[in-house]
Amino acid sequence: MLAGQYNLIIDQGAHFERLMTITNPDGSEYDLTGYTARMQIRTEIDADDVMCELTTANGRIVLGDEEGTVRLIIESAVTETFDDEGVYDLELIDSDGKVYRLLKGKVKVELEVTR
């Protein structure tokens, strides 16, 4: 599976949610039962610091099992700390521990005026 390109736009200081549906080549939903997921946002690919980490373990990624959905969630208390653009990738891990890079892209932060 080759990672798709998808850029995110996040409003600084606002609750962020994005719902995506993963499909098979025939258009049917991809069964994510037994999978976990992880995602990191960094200012640059080789940056040591992580701006935000999303995982199924920390509740910032919710998988819809047989519905094939992936919901990304970042709380406003976290997005208010975003003051720079970044990059990310999203990985799925199956029950055997195999890692699949699902998406990658840039993160554009729309700066908040009202604070």
Q: Percentage of the chain surpassing pLDDT 90?
A: 94
Could you tell me if residue 113 is inside a domain?
no
pLDDT band per the 50, 70, 90 thresholds, residue 10: very high
Is 80 exceeded by the pLDDT of residue 86?
A: yes
Give the mean model confidence (pLDDT) for residues 39-45.
97
In a domain, residue 111? The reply is: no
Is residue 9 within 8 Å of 110, Cβ to Cβ?
yes
- Residue 1 pLDDT grade (very low, low, confident, very high; cuts 50, 70, 90): low
Average pLDDT for 9-36: 96
Predicted local confidence at residue 3, as pLDDT: 87
CATH code of residue 91: 2.60.40
How many domains, the chain? 1
112 located within any domain? no
Q: Whole-number mean pLDDT of the chain?
A: 96
pTM: 0.93
Name the CA radius of gyration of the chain, rounded: 14
**Domain housing 13:** 4-102
Handedness of CA 45, 50, 52, 53 (dihedral sign): positive
Mean pLDDT of 37-57: 97
Q: What does DSSP assign to residue 79?
A: H
